[in-house]
Amino acid sequence: MSNIQKKTDVILIGAGVMSATLGSLLKELAPEWEIKVFEKLANAGEESSNEWNNAGTGHAALCELNYTSEKSDGSIDISKAIKINEQFQLSRQFWSYLVNNNVIRNPQDFIMPIPHMSLVQGGKNVSFLKKRFEMLSNNPLFQGMEFSNDPEKLKEWIPLIMEGRTSNEPIAATKIDSGTDINFGALTRMLFDHLKSENVEVNYKHSVKDIKRASDGSWEVKVHDIDSGKIEYHSAKFVFIGGGGGSLLLLQKTGIPESENIGGFPVSGLFMVCNNPEVAAQHHAKVYGKAKVGAPPMSVPHLDTRYMDNEKTLLFGPFAGFSPKFLKTGSNFDLINSIKPNNVFTMLAAGAKEMSLTKYLIQQVMLSNEDRMEELREFIPNAKSEDWDIVVAGQRVQVIKDTEAGGKGTLQFGTEVVSAADGSIAALLGASPGASTAVHVMLEVLEKCFPQHMKEWEPKIKEMIPSFGVSLVENPELFQEIHTLTAQTLGLDEKELAYS
Ligand SMILES: Cc1cc2nc3c(=O)[nH]c(=O)nc-3n(C[C@H](O)[C@H](O)[C@H](O)COP(=O)(O)OP(=O)(O)OC[C@H]3O[C@@H](n4cnc5c(N)ncnc54)[C@H](O)[C@@H]3O)c2cc1C
């Protein structure tokens, strides 16, 4: 059975944090536009955006060592850290706007203040961290960062990590209290509740099977209603493919030239979760270490205090792994199905280039639970196996494409907006820095797909996100003002008062 539905202005595919953010922005900018959402699962925020499927770090480059690299002359390049921090400030501003407008009633339902720390061991790593600290702490965006290589100070900051540590190797950490833990699942669900109340038609258990260009230039989307078994056809002037790991397969169906020569490589993840509340209570920070050789940057181990299911808990990981699925709920044929004549050489080139990643993933897949405990003991020397369980995290599909700098088949670790030349369809690929920068990425979708509306929308965008289009690092006073205001609105200010 099939039926043709009427046309709509916008179709959002997938009910993750990206579609939630784009839908919420569009509802503010063009309230009269009709929006439909199709999600194959029974609820919003069930895939990567779910709180148990990601690490919940508000990525602002406050603790992630992979955002600051050491140059050949020994100096530290902080340009990526600045970029990510500025992008995170856009999210803070939009979320604050939503709180001020009662879309989000209680910010603590999705965002909590938590110190962000970087921790390293060994003389070389300590001197890297010190140089990194000197660069960052002189920058207005990273004010309040502290450094210590004094074991007594570190015991105050991270008692659980320092207890039982016998090694004489130098150890050091940086700490900044303005970090955040974010429940992206809760945020996504709140935004979809709001969209539904604004007459957005959200169709759960509706799986998108095909996307074709219609003769009038609009897009026809073929949807399978999972409960009734019916096939429906919906058309829209603009389609956003926010299918997370599933976006690549959908993008390929559009046949747009921009979808060619792009592949995806899935990396799965596992976290260890502490089941002993007494142990969890002894730690209060997100502590990021250094990635192992060959490890992809998103596999940096970290020990995180998290706020989920109304509880403070403790997670360690992620451990990477390999599964051919593009979504946690995906199919074992996803990787094979994504290989097309136009991307096969790109994929093969990546396979040949990324031997260290392949080796790393094989090693990770082979780890036993006791091996994982040994990795955890590098953070918590006294960790007991019985206090820790394993949870399966979400899938990340890393983009593989041909680039000028990296050549054919280069693995990308960022997010990519791929859109048709006429702006009628866009897809989001990649997963890092991910949900934290959803607002920045969705503003990029608006700029690429609706250039004709940007002038008219700019005043409203600036009302929601005052720093839109402005460099915060070059305007430290504006940064200070925005940072203080968003901290107050989002309930993050108590900790921040300690250093401001
Ligand atoms: C292990 C791990 C750790 C991470 N840690 C962090 C972190 O600390 N901080 C951070 O900011 N980000 C983190 N991320 C990244 C972040 O989770 C993602 O960037 C973000 O959740 C992606 O949101 P999305 O809306 O694009 O995708 P998703 O949340 O995956 O949503 C996509 C939706 O599309 C649906 N869908 C797919 N195909 C179809 C179809 N054909 N028809 C209908 N529906 C479809 C899916 O069911 C899903 O609900 C992490 C990710 C992983 C996996």
Q: Is the Cα dihedral 431, 433, 435, 440 positive or negative?
A: negative
- Report which protein residue has its CA nearest ligand 1's atom 15: 434
In this structure, are residues 119 and 287 in contact, taking their beta carbons and an 8 Å threshold? yes
CA of 327 to the centre of ligand 1 (A): 8
Q: What is the pLDDT of residue 340?
A: 94
Ligand 1 centroid to 39 CA: how many Å? 12
> Do the domain assignments include residue 345?
yes
The closest residue, in CA terms, to atom 31 on ligand 1 is: 16
- Which atom of ligand 1 lies at the shortest distance from residue 57's CA? 8
Q: Does 313 fall in a domain?
A: yes
Of 46, 47, 208, 221, the one to substitute when testing ligand 1's pocket (max ligand atoms within 8 A of C-beta) is 47
Residue 449 lies in a domain: no
DSSP letter for 68, please: S
* Protein residue with least CA distance to atom 1, ligand 1: 54
* Interhelix angle 17-29/79-100, nearest 10 degrees: 60
Q: Does any domain span residue 37?
A: no
Residue ranges lining ligand 1, Cβ < 6 Å: 13-19, 38-41, 46-49, 53-57, 59, 184, 207-208, 242-244, 246, 250, 269, 318, 327, 393-394, 396, 428, 431, 433-436
For residue 478, the CA-to-ligand 1 centroid distance in Å is 32
* Tens digit of each residue's pLDDT, the chain (500 residues): 456 667 999 999 999 999 999 999 999 999 999 999 999 999 999 999 999 999 999 999 999 999 999 899 989 999 999 999 999 999 999 999 999 999 999 999 999 999 999 999 999 999 999 999 999 999 999 999 999 999 999 999 999 999 999 888 999 999 999 999 999 999 999 999 999 999 999 999 999 999 999 999 999 999 999 999 999 999 999 999 999 999 999 999 999 999 999 999 998 889 999 999 999 999 999 999 988 766 776 678 999 999 998 899 999 999 988 889 999 999 999 999 999 999 999 998 888 887 777 777 777 878 888 999 999 999 999 999 999 999 999 999 989 999 988 899 888 888 899 999 999 999 999 877 899 999 999 999 999 999 999 999 999 999 999 999 999 999 999 999 999 999 999 999 855 433 33
Which of 174, 369, 386, 394 is CA-nearest to residue 286?
174
Ligand 1: which of 11, 48, 241, 327 to mutate, judged by most atoms within 8 Å of the beta carbon?
Answer: 48
Atom of ligand 1 nearest to the CA of 182: 9
- Ligand 1 centroid–CA 245 distance in Å is 7
407: tokens are 């050549």
Query: Residue 1: what pLDDT?
Result: 47
For the CA of 435, the closest atom of ligand 1 is: 11
Q: Which atom of ligand 1 is nearest to the CA of 184?
A: 21
Does 388 map to a domain? yes
Q: What are 51-54's contacts with CB under 8 Å, separation 24+?
A: 51/183, 51/184, 51/185, 51/186, 51/306, 51/308, 52/185, 52/308, 52/391, 52/393, 53/185, 53/328, 53/393, 53/394, 54/184, 54/393, 54/394, 54/434, 54/435
Q: What is the pLDDT of residues 96-151, one digit of tens each?
A: 999 999 999 999 999 999 999 999 999 999 999 999 999 999 999 999 999 999 99
Single-letter code of the amino acid located at 259: S
C-alpha 276/C-alpha 191 separation (Å) is 33
**123 Cα–ligand 1 center, Å:** 38
- Which atom of ligand 1 lies nearest, measured to the CA of 437? 11
Minimal-distance CA residue to ligand 1 atom 2:
54
208 contacts 254 by C-beta, under 8 angstroms = no
Choose among 216, 240, 212, 200: nearest CA to 423: 240
Computed on alpha carbons and rounded to an integer, the radius of gyration of the chain in Å comes to 23
Could you give the residue ranges of the DSSP H alpha helices within 101-220? Answer: 123-137, 151-157, 159-162, 184-197
Residue 74 included in any domain: no
User: Could you tell me which residues are beta bridge partners of residue 147?
Assistant: 174
* Residues 6+ away with beta carbon under 8 Å from 402: 261, 346, 349, 408, 409, 410
433 Cα: distance to centroid of ligand 1 (angstroms): 12
CA pair distance 167, 126, nearest whole angstrom: 15
Distance CA 185, CA 195 (A): 15
- The whole-number pLDDT of residue 4 equals 62
The verdict on residue 274 lying in a domain is yes
State the residue range of the domain holding 330.
263-413
State how far the Cα of 44 lies from the Cα of 17, in Å rounded to an integer. Answer: 9
Answer yes or no: is 304 within a domain. Answer: yes
By most ligand atoms within 8 Å of CB, the mutation choice from 21, 43, 54, 299 for ligand 1 is 54
How far apart are alpha carbons 305 and 113 in whole angstroms? Answer: 10
Q: Domain tally for the chain?
A: 1
The C-alpha atoms of residue 92 and residue 90 are separated, in whole angstroms, by: 5
Q: What is the pTM of this model?
A: 0.95
Q: Which is the closest atom of ligand 1 to the Cα of 269?
A: 1
Looking at residue 162, its pLDDT comes to 97
Hey, which of 49, 249, 417 would you mutate to test ligand 1's pocket, going by the most ligand atoms within 8 Å of its Cβ?
Answer: 49
Classify each residue of 402-437 as buried b or exposed e, where b means 16 or more C-beta atoms within 10 Å of its C-beta: beeeeebbbbbebbebbbbeebbbbbbbbbbbbbbb
